Structure 1
């Protein structure tokens, strides 16, 4: 195994121990020699893996003491942060915060797309929407999720702002799993198809305000379905008060 892949594999195993224990946030890590023995690697490999986690804010060095696992509020690695918060009791708001981030970015993207989208963009969105309908009818969850994500990718591209896609790209990888979980519920697929139809119809008018409202409606639907079908919250549950939420 190449050295780089060995380091990556060690980072993955350390990450699992951070997320699932025994190395939870706030705890001290064992000495490098013990970590190397635990993962069956050299001390140099263990040290390099620690450096990767330090760069993501997951591990912090303490002068004169062993390294510590930092609080999740200091982590910058999105994938590991999502894994951690989604698996711990009382931190289910992570998925709601991701919807809030989508809301902030994608409503603006829809507003811009109304002004900049060309007919080819609208035709491509319609094709992805047709795939969503076909996937729903044939109970093909994988196709449904791929078509859903592809629809939103076209909206981001059609906005004409290259930074929006760069900002959303890492979130897209995280949201694929979340969308698969939510869309596994048949009513969610029906709701999503209706909302995507509304977004496309608004974009066809070229009205920025209407397009923003349509995407806002879609984000409302996404949050409602997440609360009801995944988080199992009662109807009328209060909106998240997390800092990222609207």
Structure 2
């Protein structure tokens, strides 16, 4: 006798395949493009603080999208702090002091249009202060496992001295292991966020050659030794000297904005 299978009275019936909701990837992608362009226009001064965004109809024509996409995109830009929507007055561009500088889109745009490198200078100064503080904290807080990870990351750098890309990755890993040992989760997140975006800028890059990599390795050795000696002051000093010195060495000259001729160009920590 065939067993009868009873229908589950609480089951949600499946909709026919033809009635499934279409994917929204295209609309989402269009919205992302609109947001990025508006942010870029504001950051590079095409839309100045206090000015008003063009009317919706004009933006629709400019980007070739619907009013819905424009409205949603402008709201996203407002969430980033770059505009303020005021009923009856339009959408006003805000003062740069109100921008969310840690937002991925805003940070990327600012770095891309940082003509005089002043923002990158601020970024390096912020990173230097945070990482020096975290190196000092790591010297007093590291565990046996932290010690092994920091030492292993230094040895990884040493083993990659003949491979620029892998050396740079090992370099970044060393810094991350030091920050992890500090137990400063917020500081680590901030540094990783701003540094990842900076590394996307050609003007933040430095030219790696054997001499540069060996100097970088020596500076990391000094950081490593101070941390493992539980010398908080020495660890902070070594980290500060390394980051600020590295930026000073690779910071583009005013007449050297174009990428260098060296083929071994890679982002430096």
Q: Given the two structures, how large is their TM-score scaled by the length of structure 1?
A: 0.78
Alignment-derived partner of residue 181 in structure 2: 158
The structural deviation recorded for 1:144 is 2.9
The structural deviation recorded for 1:154 is 0.8
Alignment-derived partner of residue 232 in structure 1: 253
> Over residues 95-148 of structure 1, what are the superposed CA-to-partner deviations in whole Å (9 max), with x where a residue is unaligned?
11111111221111111111222333233233333343444423x2x3233222
**SS of residue paired to 1:61:** strand
**SS of residue paired to 1:216:** helix
CA contact (8 A) 1:183 1:189 kept: no
The structural deviation recorded for 1:178 is 5.1
Matched, 1:113 2:113: no
The structural deviation recorded for 1:200 is 0.6
Give the whole-Å Cα distance in 1 for the aligned partners of 2:215 and 2:131. Answer: 18
> Over residues 149-201 of structure 1, what are the superposed CA-to-partner deviations in whole Å (9 max), with x where a residue is unaligned?
21111111101233332333422432333599433343543432221111011
- How many residues are paired up? 228
Alignment-derived partner of residue 238 in structure 1: none
The structural deviation recorded for 1:25 is 4.6
Give the whole-Å Cα distance in 2 for the aligned partners of 1:131 and 1:183. Answer: 20
Q: What is the Cα-based RMSD across aligned positions, in Å?
A: 2.8
Name structure 1 gaps, 5 residues minimum: 235-246
CA contact (8 A) 2:82 2:94 kept: yes
CA contact (8 A) 2:114 2:120 kept: no
Alignment-derived partner of residue 123 in structure 1: 148
**SS of residue paired to 2:199:** helix
Range that drifts further, 93-102 or 169-178? 169-178
Structure of higher CA gyration radius: 2
Matched, 1:84 2:110: yes
Alignment-derived partner of residue 243 in structure 1: none
Higher helix share: 1
Give the whole-Å Cα distance in 1 for the aligned partners of 2:200 and 2:151. Answer: 24
CA contact (8 A) 2:82 2:93 kept: yes
Alignment-derived partner of residue 129 in structure 2: 104
Give the whole-Å Cα distance in 2 for the aligned partners of 1:26 and 1:184. Answer: 41
Matched, 1:93 2:93: no
CA contact (8 A) 1:131 1:143 kept: no
The structural deviation recorded for 1:202 is 0.9
**SS of residue paired to 1:30:** coil
**SS of residue paired to 1:67:** strand
Please point out which of 26, 31, 43 is paired with 1:7.
31
Name structure 2 gaps, 5 residues minimum: 1-23, 256-269
Give the whole-Å Cα distance in 2 for the aligned partners of 1:88 and 1:221. Answer: 21
Give the whole-Å Cα distance in 2 for the aligned partners of 1:113 and 1:179. Answer: 31
